[in-house]
């Protein structure tokens, strides 16, 4: 199973890395999946990804505080919105696929917007 997890780790890392350049394709969720896969297969690559100069800070913030920084939220929502506008207005994609894509993006936006942007101080309830 270690080999399967190792392969998945690199697969998720690759998809996440592509997400840096491709609008609408998220990066951090795939890096989180890669980190999890590496935790099951290779401590060396888990530590490498967790300490990565580009991807590490977001992974650490998520792990320690379960937060999505405001800047990342804005970029994600704007990218999804622009991608959806392009899909709806400028492609010949089947209507059912446009609807499914829109629903997935709506769920992603809901998740992003409901997740805190900052860590709350210890002992303080958010409510």
What's the alpha-carbon Rg for the chain, to the nearest Å? 17
How confident is the model at residue 122, as a pLDDT? 61
Element (H, E) at 36: helix 28-41
Question: How confident is the model over 74-78, as a mean pLDDT?
Answer: 85
* Cα–Cα distance measured from residue 79 to residue 23, given in angstroms and rounded to the nearest whole number: 6
DSSP state for residue 120 in the 8-state scheme: P
Q: What is the mean pLDDT of the chain?
A: 88
* pTM (2 d.p.): 0.68
How confident is the model at residue 6, as a pLDDT? 97
Give the residue ranges of DSSP H helices in 42-94. 43-50, 56-65, 70-90
Question: How confident is the model over 13-24, as a mean pLDDT?
Answer: 84
* Residue 30 pLDDT greater than 80, yes or no: yes
Residue 66, classed as helix, strand or coil, is: coil
Place of tokens 């690759």: 14
End-to-end CA gap in the chain: 42
Highest-scoring range by mean pLDDT, 19-23, 36-40, 55-59, 107-111: 36-40
Question: How confident is the model over 49-72, as a mean pLDDT?
Answer: 89
92 vs 29, residue with greater confidence: 92
119 vs 51, residue with greater confidence: 51
How confident is the model at residue 127, as a pLDDT? 47
């Amino acid at each position: 199973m270690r080999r399967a997890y190792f392969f998945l780790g690199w697969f998720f890392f690759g998809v996440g890395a592509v997400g840096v350049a491709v609008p609408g394709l998220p990066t951090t969720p795939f890096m989180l999946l890669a980190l999890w896969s590496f935790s099951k297969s290779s401590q060396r690559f888990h530590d490498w990804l967790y300490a990565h100069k580009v991807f590490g800070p977001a992974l650490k913030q998520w792990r320690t505080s379960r937060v999505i920084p405001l800047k990342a939220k804005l970029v994600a929502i704007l990218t999804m919105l622009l991608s959806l506008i392009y899909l709806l207005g400028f492609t010949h994609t089947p209507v059912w696929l446009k609807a499914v894509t829109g629903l997935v993006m709506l769920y992603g936006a809901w998740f992003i917007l409901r997740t805190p942007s900052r860590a709350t101080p210890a002992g303080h309830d958010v409510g």
